[in-house]
Amino acid sequence: MQFMLLFSRQGKLRLQKWYVSLSEREKKKITREIVQTILARKPKMCSFLEWRDLKIVYKRYASLYFCCAIEDQENELITLEIIHRYVELLDKYFGSVCELDIIFNFEKAYFILDEFLLGGEVQETSKKNVLKAIEQADLLQEEAETPRSVLEEIGLT
């Protein structure tokens, strides 16, 4: 997979993950182009389109479009499955996810994606394992945060 984009029906980018090294300008250009193309498609159309020498696989969930760019030989259906998996993961983590969850906790959305995919390849196919890893990492974060807040309190009082 070359990159993954999440954007809203209004064309606002909500998440982007690039597995190829490109300059900012190039990224912006590609994003704009793809967002426009996909938004112009009618709802009953199939989820694949050929774009430059890549294939774009996208799917709409509520108000969000999830879109992946894959290479020519890759399997479109499994890419759809990847998108679906990711949505399920977000759903499990946030508890019936909505666009606002992703906007306000965008870093979490990235962390989940990073546990699921690495370098554009599926890293962990078990949803349970991904969530476990995220939960433990979050726990680590909270542990790290708690002593500091205690210190703060001491400092403040």
Partner 1 sequence: MALKMVKGSIDRMFDKNLQDLVRGIRNHKEDEAKYISQCIDEIKQELKQDNIAVKANAVCKLTYLQMLGYDISWAAFNIIEVMSASKFTFKRIGYLAASQCFHEGTDVIMLTTNQIRKDLSSPSQYDTGVALTGLSCFVTPDLARDLANDIMTLMSHTKPYIRKKAVLIMYKVFLKYPESLRPAFPRLKEKLEDPDPGVQSAAVNVICELARRNPKNYLSLAPLFFKLMTSSTNNWVLIKIIKLFGALTPLEPRLGKKLIEPLTNLIHSTSAMSLLYECVNTVIAVLISLSSGMPNHSASIQLCVQKLRILIEDSDQNLKYLGLLAMSKILRTHPKSVQAHKDLVLQCLDDKDESIRLRALDLLYGMVSKKNLVEIVKKLMSHVDKAEGTTYRDELLTKIIDICSQCNYQHITNFQWYISVLVELTRLEGTRHGHLIAAQMLDVAIRVKAIRKFAVSQMSALLDRAHLVASSTQRNGICEVLYAAAWICGEFSEHLQEPQQTLEAMLRPKVTTLPGHIQAVYVQNVVKLYAAILQQREQAAEPEAAQDVTQLMVERLPQFVQSADLEVQERASCVLQLVKHIQKLQAKDVPVAEEVSALFAGELNPVAPKAQKKVPVPEGLDLDAWINEPPSDSESEDEKPKAIFHEEEQRHVKQRQPEADEEELARRREARKQEQANNPFYIKSSPSPQKRYQDLPGVEHIPVVQIDLSVPLKVPGMPVSDQYVKLEEERRHRQRLEKDRKKKKKKDKEKKGKPRRHGSLHTESDEDIAPAQQVDIVTEEMPENALPSDEDDKDPNDPYRALDIDLDRPLADSEKLPIQKHRNADTCKSPEKEDVPVTEKKIKKLKKKEKKHKEKEREKKKGKEEEKVKPSKHKKKKHKKEKEERSKDKKKPKKKKPASDGAAEPVENGALDEDPLPPMSSYCLLAENAYVKMTYDIQGSLQKDSQVTVSVVLENQSSSFLKNMELSVLDSLNTKLARPEGSSVHDGVPVPFQLPPGVSNEAQFVFTVRSIVTAQKLKGTLSFIAKNDEGSTHEKLDFQLHFSCTSYLVTTPCYSDAFAKLLESGDLSMSSVKVDGISMSFQNLLAKICFHHHFSVVERVDSCASMYSRSIQGHHVCLLVKKGEKSVSVDGKCSDAALLGSLLEEMKATLAQC
Q: What is the rounded distance in angstroms from the CA atom of residue 51 to the CA atom of residue 68? A: 11
In the complex, the smallest distance separating the C-beta of residue 79 from partner 1, rounded to whole angstroms, is 9
Amino acid found at 59: K
Q: What is the rounded distance in angstroms from the CA atom of residue 34 to the CA atom of residue 30? A: 6
Q: Is 21 in the site for partner 1 (CB under 8 A)?
A: yes
Among 23, 53, 96, 128, binds partner 1 (CB under 8 A): 23
Q: Is 101 in the site for partner 1 (CB under 8 A)?
A: no
Calculate ∠ Cα 26-27-31, nearest 5°.
120
- Letters for 57-86 (x = contact with partner 1 by CB under 8 A, - = none) are ----------------x-xxxx-xx-----
Asked if residues 69 and 82 have their Cβ atoms less than 8 Å apart, the reply is no
Segment near partner 1 (CB under 8 A), from 42-50, 62-70, 91-99? 42-50
